[in-house]
Amino acid sequence: MTKSETKLLIGIGVLILLIDILLMKYWVSKIQPYPWMSDSVESHKLEIFGINILIGIIVFFNRKKLSILFFINTIVCYWIFSFFWNSYLENNPYSQTIYDFKIDNRNIQLRISENPNTYGIYELNPNSVDSLKVIEMGMNEKRGDSIVLKWWNGKIQEMYFYDDNLIGLPENPNSIELNKKE
């Protein structure tokens, strides 16, 4: 192998590495992993390995020396993907805010979670074995300065959380003032 061939091989290797970094970062941002996700880095291992090995085999028939880069890239891609996956989880931690309110002498609690963006409305039963009764569960979405709470009840239903007030609860559609639990 001549010096110019070696430089070309290194240049192509660096180009492949840069493309890997961009693609892996984009892929993780599309997946948006969260801590309790059943889908993990390991479940994407076959896709990462499979694509690189397939490209390596195709390139092997045209340029044998270049195909080595794709076989090495199989391992490198997995490390890059794992790095971005873990980085995403560190930069987007799970958090939950809890609010209490009362309707007809019933103690109700609203829990708004971030990463994943979900919510739950629960009735607190102090004298029962199961102290939480699920009233409503769904997804939340930030819209302007309010949070839209969405659930499915034959069709998409929406409530709004704005300035410590809940608007549109089916049991009481008027604005309900909430108390943030510390």
Same domain, 167 and 131: yes
Same domain, 134 and 168: yes
The residue from 91, 116, 149 where one domain ends is 91
* pLDDT on residue 31: 83
What distance in Å separates the CA atoms of residue 83 and residue 79, rounded to the nearest whole number?
6
The residue from 38, 72, 91 where one domain ends is 91
Same domain, 87 and 9: yes
Question: Residue 167's domain spans which residues?
Answer: 95-181
Q: Please give the residue that has the higher pLDDT: either 172 or 81.
A: 81
Same domain, 70 and 23: yes
Q: Is 38 exposed, middle or buried (0-12, 13-18, 19+ CB in 10 A)?
A: exposed
CB 76 within 8 A of CB 20: yes
Q: How far is CA 46 from the centre of its chain?
A: 20
Number of domains in the chain: 2
Q: Is 159 exposed, middle or buried (0-12, 13-18, 19+ CB in 10 A)?
A: buried
pLDDT at 24 over 80: yes
The residue from 63, 91, 119 where one domain ends is 91
Confidence tier at 37 by pLDDT (50, 70, 90):
low
pLDDT at 34 over 90: no
Same domain, 165 and 110: yes
Same domain, 77 and 117: no
Same domain, 99 and 84: no
* pLDDT on residue 182: 74
Same domain, 81 and 104: no
Same domain, 100 and 80: no
Query: Mean pLDDT across the stretch 151-161?
Result: 85
Query: Mean pLDDT across the stretch 142-167?
Result: 88
pLDDT at 38 over 80: no
pTM attached to this predicted model: 0.62
Could you give the percent of the chain with pLDDT greater than 90?
25
Residue carrying the six token digits 């070309």: 8
Confidence tier at 129 by pLDDT (50, 70, 90):
low
pLDDT at 128 over 70: no
Same domain, 153 and 112: yes
Same domain, 11 and 83: yes
pLDDT tens column, 83-116: 998 898 888 878 889 999 988 888 899 999 987 8
* Alpha carbon separation from 172 to 50, 98, 116, 132, 168 (Å, rounded): 54, 19, 27, 20, 7
Q: What is the mean pLDDT of the chain?
A: 86
pLDDT tens column, 52-81: 889 888 888 888 888 888 888 888 998 999
* pLDDT on residue 130: 63
Same domain, 84 and 103: no
